[in-house]
Amino acid sequence: MTFLPSPCELRGLRDLPGCTTLVSLPPEIDLSNAVPLFDRVMSAVEARDDRLRLLVLDLTDTHFMDSQGARLVEDVRRRLRPGVRCVVAADPEGVCSRVMELTGLRRDVPVYDGLAEALAS
């Protein structure tokens, strides 16, 4: 029997030097899992308290995202305390980049073409 990862679980969560937290999101984000994912991201952010300065949302391995995924990113950005930056790493040719472009989210959240570029920000 093959066990598939839960669509409501983060793929990864790492604290990095420089008060940076990297959150890797699952392969699909839609209406069925956006709210639980938001709760998990915010729990991770709140656990870091005042140490967090940069939150990197990794969408490089997310191959499907609808407007609920864009809403997730926007809601996370809005809930961050002042002084904390939120950036996104996404495949420039992927669905996530396109959804963020179409919804206008790229105006408010920096989107980088890869994880290395986002972490260097």
pLDDT score recorded for residue 3: 46
Which residue intervals of the chain are DSSP H helices? 34-48, 67-79, 95-103, 115-120
pLDDT score recorded for residue 6: 64
- Is 6 in a helix, a strand, or coil? coil
pLDDT score recorded for residue 48: 87
pLDDT tens track of the chain, all 121 residues? Answer: 554 556 777 888 888 888 999 999 999 999 999 999 999 999 999 998 788 999 999 999 999 999 999 999 999 999 999 999 999 999 999 999 999 999 999 999 999 999 999 998 7
Do the beta carbons of residue 37 and residue 45 sit within 8 Å?
no
| DSSP output for 3-69 | PPPPTTS-SEEEEETTTEEEEEPPSEESTTTHHHHHHHHHHHHHHHGGG--EEEEE-TT--EE-HHH
Q: Torsions phi, psi of 65, nearest 5?
A: -155, 130
CATH-assigned architecture of domain 12-120 = 2-Layer Sandwich (3.30)
Distance CA 119, CA 94 (A): 19
Beta strands 111-112 and 64-65, pairing class: unpaired
pTM of the model: 0.91
Do the beta carbons of residue 99 and residue 70 sit within 8 Å?
yes
Domain extents in the chain:
12-120
Distance CA 16, CA 7 (A): 24
